[in-house]
C-alpha cells in the first residue's frame, strides 16, 4: 500500500510498488523461505532495504526520469497493442458478419427462384399427366355432341 498526492499517477505508484516488491524478493526472498515464520520479527530487514526504498522514491518522484518514462511507454505500447488486436478482431467479425449477411441474402433469393421453378415444373408435370386424358374426354364429348345433333334432327 502507498499514499501519494492526488496529482500523482496511479500507474506510476503501482510501478514503484512493483519495483519495491521485486527488489525485496530478490534481496531477501531466500531468507524468508528458509526462516520459520514464528522467528520473524517486524522490520527485521528494514535497515538493509531502506536505501533501495529511498532510491526508488527519488527515481519515481522525478517525473522526467528515463526509467519512469520507459515504463509508462511500455505500458502505453502494451495498451495500444491490446486495443489494436481488439479492433482487428472486431473488424474481422464485422467482415464475416457482412459476408454472412450477403450469403444469407443469396440463399433467400435462390430459394425464391427454386420455389417458382418447382411450381412451374409441378404445373408442367400435371399438364403432361392429365392433358391426354382431358383431350380424350373432350374428343368423346365432341363426338357425343355431334351424334346427338344428328339424331335430334
Regions of the chain short of the pLDDT cut 70: 31-49, 63-70
pLDDT at 99: 78
pLDDT on residue 134: 92
How many Cα atoms within 13 Å fall on the side-chain side of residue 153?
6
Q: Which domains does the chain have, with CATH numbers?
A: 1-63 (3.30.450.50)
Query: What gap in Å lies between CA 102 and CA 107, rounded to an integer?
Result: 9
Buried b (16+ CB within 10 A) or exposed e, 15-48: bbeebbeeeeeeeeeeeeeeeeeeeeeeeeeeee
The per-residue pLDDT for 144 is 94
pLDDT of residue 116: 92
State residue 16's pLDDT score.
Answer: 78
Strand, helix or coil for residue 37? helix
Give the pLDDT of residue 33.
65
Amino acid at each position: 500500500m502507498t499514499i501519494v498526492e492526488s496529482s500523482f499517477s496511479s500507474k506510476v505508484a503501482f510501478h514503484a510498488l512493483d519495483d519495491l516488491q521485486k527488489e525485496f524478493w530478490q534481496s531477501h526472498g531466500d531468507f524468508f523461505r528458509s526462516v520459520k515464520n514464528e522467528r520473524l520479527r517486524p522490520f527485521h530487514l528494514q535497515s538493509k532495504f531502506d536505501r533501495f526504498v529511498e532510491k526508488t522514491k527519488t527515481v519515481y518522484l522525478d517525473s522526467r526520469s528515463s526509467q519512469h518514462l520507459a515504463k509508462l511507454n511500455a505500458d502505453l505500447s502494451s495498451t495500444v497493442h491490446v486495443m489494436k488486436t481488439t479492433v482487428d478482431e472486431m473488424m474481422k467479425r464485422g467482415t464475416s458478419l457482412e459476408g454472412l449477411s450477403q450469403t444469407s441474402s443469396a440463399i433467400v433469393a435462390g430459394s425464391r427462384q427454386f420455389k417458382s421453378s418447382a411450381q412451374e415444373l409441378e404445373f408442367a408435370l400435371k399438364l403432361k399427366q392429365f392433358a391426354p386424358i382431358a383431350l380424350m374426354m373432350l374428343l368423346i364429348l365432341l363426338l357425343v355432341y355431334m351424334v346427338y345433333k344428328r339424331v335430334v334432327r
